[in-house]
Structure 1
């Protein structure tokens, strides 16, 4: 397609309400069959949520939060979010104490840390939606209600703030 000085654009009445989600499978992530060079979309219940920590990366303080994402089958993945993503979860927890949190993380990165596969934000490219209301999320929440899984583990962990040195992505 070429756009020239004579090109005319017309309005269209075509609408598409699709969210264009392509949710990654926990099993495929865990067994290593998902290409870690590609960013993924993932949805899950946030469990075992830790406190926001201040971490020193390349002599710069950054916020980090660690938790696990769980699917409807009970599979879970470690999740580490940095910066504004950590702040968003912290703020949500303060406003909605004790409530379950469903996370939709779009354009997320698969990495490995400490010998475990983990999901993390891809710098500022990722999009984080907490308790989303789109059809896929509502379906996930409904299935979650019907699953015989242990309680969410949404209690707060030890409130100690650690200062660690870690390598940047």
Structure 2
């Protein structure tokens, strides 16, 4: 970009540009190993099952499974303030209705042995 003596600048609002854009990763791709462990992903699904919660200790953690619209299930781990926020919503959610979770900038961790990959917010501080 080159500015000359005749160049003028104005602030322009572009209302049609969204502030957030999600590129959801298919859970089937993650389960098949089609992911890069150092690339953050967006995923969405319904809570399938609460596996574990630890909020009284110094290290706060919640583990749950997430099911997508195809029926694929993946384990998710939330840490610290994310775990607390999740549990507050989960404990106040109306039973019988699906609880939809959207995780942004989540990290996929490769499975260990017989265990499949997991999704985590462990990169957050």
State the TM-score, normalizing by the size of structure 2. Answer: 0.79
> For the residues of structure 1 that align with 2:8 and 2:59, how far apart are their CA atoms?
48
What are the residue-to-residue correspondences of 1:65-144 with 2, within 5 Å? 65-98=62-95, 99-112=97-110, 114=112, 115-124=115-124
Q: Please report the RMSD computed on the Cα atoms of aligned residues, expressed in angstroms.
A: 2.6
Ranges in structure 1 where 5+ consecutive residues have no aligned partner: 126-169
In the TM superposition, structure 1's runs of 4+ consecutive aligned residues that sit over 4 Å from their partners are: none
State the TM-score, normalizing by the size of structure 1. Answer: 0.60
- Quick check: which has more Rg, 1 or 2? 2
Q: Secondary structure of the residue that 1:44 maps to in structure 2?
A: strand
Q: Quote the residue 1:22 is aligned against.
A: 23
Tell me how many residue pairs correspond in the alignment.
Answer: 118
User: Does 2:50 correspond to 1:49?
Assistant: yes
Ranges in structure 2 where 5+ consecutive residues have no aligned partner: none
Q: Quote the residue 1:159 is aligned against.
A: none
Give the drift of 1:62.
0.8
